[in-house]
A and B are shown apart, each in its own frame.
Chain A
Amino acid sequence: MSGPSSYVPKLGIAKWLDARLPLPRLMYDSFVAYPVPRNLNYFWTFGGILMLMLVSQILTGVILAMHYTPHATLAFTSVEGIMRDVEYGWLMRYMHANGASMFFIAVYIHIFRGLYYGSYKAPREVLWILGVIIFLLMMATAFMGYVLPWGQMSFWGATVITNLFSAFPIVGETIVTFLWGGYSVDNPTLTRFFSLHFLLPFMIFGVVILHVWALHVTGQNNPTGVEVKAVAKDTIPFTPYATIKDAFALVLFFAFFAYFLFFIPNYLGHADNYIPANPAVTPAHIVPEWYFLPFYAILRAVPDKLGGVLLMFAAIAVLVVLPWLDTSKVRSMSYRPLARQCFWAFAVTCVMLGWLGSRPAEGIYVTLSQLFTALYFAYFLIALPLLGLFETPKKLPGSIAESVLGKMKGGSGAVVGAAAPAEPNTKG
């Protein structure tokens, strides 16, 4: 897809560097000349948004780490010190805490876009699996970050989640003890979580580079799911077209982010985390952050401890094998009427699981959790494998260019293409 490089260094120093370390060439080929399908919609801007969110989290995180004290007796006070005494400390902390939520909102949109348009299918399986790894690392990072303020939810969240590993036979207890660094969640747990919370984002960054690399090898999928056939007709250069579109979407997303950050900064959090950790009292309802709720619901749907844990891990593991579960030759669900309905049912299922995760695990909620857990897995294990065999897809467009230009009133693409340069573009 990415053909021979079209980078031509102009300045002497650029030529000198290009012969020794062709970094500008790499950047140029990846972010300027890189051909993107011309029919991408706004769901394709979330990759760029996620990149910026990762940078934002790392920047605010580094600042916060300068003022934070990872010690069980001082963590809560030091976080409040950031909120009160550090200049713009409140901004850094709220940006980081809400930024985590925004990161997950963006990543869920990004994942569901991939599910809908079949971006996981050949030849993009490795790209997809790298994405699942990023998602796992994000979950680990977010979880450990939530522990750091050492409030009640931090402490009890850490206790419950680390105890998940005790479900494994024989090695379980040892794993948990090694996670804790003691016989319960305590100061050693906090310090190692701080250390790992600092490390993991850079590992995410590394996998993101692989993710982008894999993307640039296969090229982007697009709303039709039809591969690029003729680069000249089907694609446009990344800069300026995709760049400006990404920038527009990014600023809109940041406006959404700013709304939460400045006006309802505690909406997505939980009041109990403003109570310092108390190992003697568990809050009446302990719930994880919203982005973990669907998985939490799956965990609690099974009355068996080990079963619940395995099922929760399976809920993510199933994404890894998804490229081979979906048997359809057609990528985009725009051309798969039945699969599309299943997709939306699946989306509703995830929302319902999220809601059920926030409910106490009793009565009707358990039954509903079991129902929706079954539906969650049915989508991957029953619907997608079978639909590919029985479904009759709609007719696909011949090419990306055809899908875009076909929508235009009158005239073929060629005629219009000839007319365009004549239009002067100098007036403001």
Chain B
Amino acid sequence: MAEAKSSPASEPTRRDMLFLATGAMGAAGVVALAVPFVRTLAPNAQTIAAGAPIEVDLTPIPEGQGIKLFWRGKLIFVRSRTKAEIEEAQKVNLASLPDPQADSARVKPGKENWLVIYGSCTHLGCIPGGSAAGEVRGDYNGWFCPCHGSHYDTSGRIRKGPAPANLPVPPYAFLSDTKIRIG
């Protein structure tokens, strides 16, 4: 102890390359070791494989009704819209919307009667009602979130309430007139 304190020359100097190199290598080793530990938290191979695209048959959905299904653990609404609902969605003045987006950007051309959207409220993740017959559809005839009172219209756009954004559209494509593939 006495020796170490007696002389400033014996303190490690910053310029000492050996100490620098050792310290740097140690730090690099710790960082490299941390990588696999963090990577174990990623979705595992089975989860990724189970997240492959799914096919959905649309034939059992009556007009004006919707179904709910899960893809990658997320809820998805598929609704068969009536003529009146489509018109209602198309004629809205975009400037009046909290999150302006045309209805045509939310459906596939020629398949305007099918709306496919993620089913969790963009506010805090509750599930808005309105898919099944008899559920409250809110002031705009679309979906109504019971948690904090967000109203969505027939295109799944936010119209009233605390939610900041429209219900997003998942990636999907029509395989035939009555079959879609999500993912």
- The reply to whether A421 and B9 contact each other, CB–CB distance below 8 Å, is yes
- The reply to whether A428 and B16 contact each other, CB–CB distance below 8 Å, is yes
Binds B, one of A85-93, A195-203, A307-315: A85-93
Chain A residues near B9 (CB-CB < 8 A):
421, 423-426
Interface string of A183-226 (1 = CB under 8 A from B): 00000000000000000000000000000000000000000000
Chain A residues near B16 (CB-CB < 8 A):
426, 428
With the chains together, A386 CA to B17 CA distance in Å?
56
With the chains together, A185 CA to B44 CA distance in Å?
31
With A87-B42, A87-B44, A88-B36 as contacts: A240 and B3 at CB distance below 8 Å: no
In the complex, chain B residues 9-28 whose Cβ is within 8 Å of any chain A Cβ: 9-10, 12-13, 15-18, 26
- The reply to whether A91 and B36 contact each other, CB–CB distance below 8 Å, is yes
With A232-B2, A428-B16 as contacts: A87 and B40 at CB distance below 8 Å: yes
- The reply to whether B45 and A420 contact each other, CB–CB distance below 8 Å, is no
Chain A residues near B4 (CB-CB < 8 A):
236-237
**Does B74 have its Cβ within 8 Å of any Cβ on chain A?**
no
List the count of A-B residue pairs having beta carbons below 8 Å apart. Answer: 68
**Does B6 have its Cβ within 8 Å of any Cβ on chain A?**
yes
- The reply to whether B37 and A59 contact each other, CB–CB distance below 8 Å, is yes
**Does A334 have its Cβ within 8 Å of any Cβ on chain B?**
no
Interface string of B97-118 (1 = CB under 8 A from A): 0000000000000000000000
With A240-B12, A421-B10, A426-B15 as contacts: A235 and B45 at CB distance below 8 Å: no
The residue from A84, A89, A424 contacting B40, defined by CB atoms under 8 A apart? A89
How many whole Å from B48's CB to the nearest CB in chain A? 9
With the chains together, A83 CA to B98 CA distance in Å?
48
With A236-B4, A428-B16 as contacts: A67 and B40 at CB distance below 8 Å: yes
With the chains together, A63 CA to B9 CA distance in Å?
46
Chain A residues near B40 (CB-CB < 8 A):
63, 66-67, 86-89, 92
A236, closest chain B residue (CB): B1
With the chains together, A181 CA to B85 CA distance in Å?
61
- The reply to whether A63 and B13 contact each other, CB–CB distance below 8 Å, is no
Chain A residues near B13 (CB-CB < 8 A):
425-426
Chain A residues near B18 (CB-CB < 8 A):
428
**Does A9 have its Cβ within 8 Å of any Cβ on chain B?**
no
**Does B39 have its Cβ within 8 Å of any Cβ on chain A?**
yes
B1, closest chain A residue (CB): A237
Interface string of A45-64 (1 = CB under 8 A from B): 00000000000000100010
Chain B residues near A66 (CB-CB < 8 A):
40-41
- The reply to whether B44 and A89 contact each other, CB–CB distance below 8 Å, is yes
Chain A residues near B15 (CB-CB < 8 A):
426, 428
Interface string of A30-47 (1 = CB under 8 A from B): 000101000000000000
How many whole Å from B42's CB to the nearest CB in chain A? 5
Interface string of A332-374 (1 = CB under 8 A from B): 0000000000000000000000000000000000000000000
In the complex, chain B residues 31-61 whose Cβ is within 8 Å of any chain A Cβ: 36-37, 39-42, 44-47
**Does A410 have its Cβ within 8 Å of any Cβ on chain B?**
no
**Interfacial residues, chain A to chain B (CB-CB below 8 A):** 33, 35, 59, 63, 66-67, 81, 84-89, 91-92, 231-232, 235-237, 240, 247, 417, 420-421, 423-426, 428
Beyond A86-B40, A235-B1, A237-B1, list 7 extra A-B contacts (CB 8 Å): A59-B37, A66-B40, A85-B45, A88-B39, A240-B12, A420-B10, A425-B9
Q: Which 4 A-B pairs have the closest CB atoms?
A: A421-B7, A88-B36, A85-B45, A428-B17
